[in-house]
């Protein structure tokens, strides 16, 4: 087994574990309950960790790398919904106000 991901928050670790599962990679979430030990134990030793079998390490690291690259990309410029005229931030694919799908090319404010 090898650790492929660690995060200070359980939510991020859970998301990575779900992505691995969707890609057919079995994993273990370790340190689930160690958050209560922060202060008595070193902080980074208490972080939730994702571990995978040695045979899945390369694929798991690729999934984690793709996630980190996607999160590093800027979300794009804000856009105006053509259906209701509402301004939406660039990371949204649907209008928060009316639910219309973002067209391929929309005007920016």
61: Cβ contacts below 8 Å, ≥ 6 apart:
4
CATH class given for the domain over 2-72: alpha beta
Q: For 56-98, how does the pLDDT look when each residue is reduced to its tens digit (9 = 90+)?
A: 999 999 999 999 998 888 878 899 999 999 999 988 999 999 9
Using the predicted structure, report yes or no on whether residue 107 has a pLDDT greater than 60: no
Using the predicted structure, report yes or no on whether residue 35 has a pLDDT greater than 70: yes
pTM, whole model, 2 decimals?
Answer: 0.70
Q: For 2-32, how does the pLDDT look when each residue is reduced to its tens digit (9 = 90+)?
A: 999 999 999 999 999 999 999 999 999 999 9
32: Cβ contacts below 8 Å, ≥ 6 apart:
10, 48
User: Hey, where are the domains in the chain?
Assistant: 2-72, 74-109
Closest Cα partner for 12 from 44, 39, 48?
48
Using the predicted structure, report yes or no on whether residue 109 has a pLDDT greater than 60: no
Retrieve residue 14's tokens: 């859970």
How far apart (Å, rounded) are the C-alpha atoms in residues 27 and 51? 6
């Amino acid at each position: 087994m090898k650790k492929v991901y660690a995060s200070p928050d359980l939510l991020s670790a859970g998301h990575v574990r779900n992505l691995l599962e969707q890609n057919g990679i079995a994993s273990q979430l370790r340190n689930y309950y160690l958050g209560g030990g922060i202060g008595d134990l070193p902080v980074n030793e208490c972080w939730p960790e994702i571990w995978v079998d040695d045979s899945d390490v390369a694929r798991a690291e690729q999934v984690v790398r793709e996630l980190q690259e996607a999160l590093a990309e800027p979300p794009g410029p804000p856009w105006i919904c053509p259906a209701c005229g509402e301004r939406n931030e660039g990371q949204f694919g649907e209008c928060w106000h009316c639910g219309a799908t973002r067209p391929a090319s929309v005007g920016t404010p």
